[in-house]
Amino acid sequence: MIGKLSGDERAQELASLPEWTLVAEPEGIKRRFTFSDFSEAFGFMTRVALLAEQANHHPEWFNVYNRVDITLTTHDADGLSRRDIDLAKAIDALLSA
Amino acid sequence: MIGKLSGDERAQELASLPEWTLVAEPEGIKRRFTFSDFSEAFGFMTRVALLAEQANHHPEWFNVYNRVDITLTTHDADGLSRRDIDLAKAIDALLSA
């Protein structure tokens, strides 16, 4: 069982994830990604799916054509946990590689 | 440019797609798919992505863990077109194969 981050931990971690926005219902973090076309967007989704499966922590996500909206939250913690932060960092690293 | 289906055409085509529901905003058709886990859900999404790319007609879709919600609409037609019907039939065929 993984716990929800405290307010201080959350603020500290989010400082290192400037592209992600805190959202409510469910409490989590969200980022929009835009690509040149569907092929590029779905290629990215496939890489994220592999990361998610490896971490056994999965996104809530929406795609239309070249746009991917990812929300990360931890249902077991009823909010934002370290698992979300770790997955967000791994996703960001795909794009900076 | 592809046209929107008439009311009669729409009713006739939807009769052959009993699992799909007509939705508004955008006018289209929607179906929910549930799998045993994320791996199975994303495997299905990958097959749908290949169909979509081949047809050059792409879904609006949402996934969380084992659930995939697909909405098909034709932006160019401002509603439901034959492209949506064809893609829905191709998606259904994946599951009956």
Q: What is the mean pLDDT of residues A73-79?
A: 93
Query: What pLDDT does residue A2 have?
Result: 87
ipTM value: 0.94
pTM: 0.95
B42–chain A Cβ distance below 8 A for any pair: yes
Judge contact between A29 and A83, C-beta under 8 A: no
Query: What pLDDT does residue A23 have?
Result: 95
> What's the pLDDT tens digit per position in A21-54?
999 988 999 999 999 999 999 999 999 999 999 9
pLDDT above 70: percentage of residues in chain A: 99
Residue that the structure tokens 């064809």 belong to:
B86
> What's the pLDDT tens digit per position in B26-65?
899 999 999 999 999 999 999 999 999 999 999 999 999 9
Query: What pLDDT does residue A97 have?
Result: 67
- Chain A residues touching residue B42 (CB < 8 angstroms): 49, 53
- Chain B residues touching residue A61 (CB < 8 angstroms): 62-64
Say whether pLDDT at A83 is over 90.
yes
Query: What pLDDT does residue A80 have?
Result: 96
Query: What pLDDT does residue B72 have?
Result: 98
CB contact under 8 A, B52 and A64: no
Partner residue facing A58 (CB), from B53, B58, B65: B65
List, as one string, the DSSP characters of A10-70.
HHHHHTT-TT-EEETTTTEEEEEEE-SSHHHHHHHHHHHHHHHHHHT---EEEEETTEEEE
A31: alpha, beta or left, given left = phi > 0 and alpha = psi -120 to 50?
A: beta
> What's the pLDDT tens digit per position in B57-95?
999 999 999 999 999 999 999 999 999 999 999 999 999
Confidence class for position B97, pLDDT limits 50, 70, 90: low
CB contact under 8 A, B49 and A62: no
CB contact under 8 A, A62 and B61: yes
Q: For chains A and B, count residue pairs whose Cβ atoms are closer than 8 Å.
A: 37
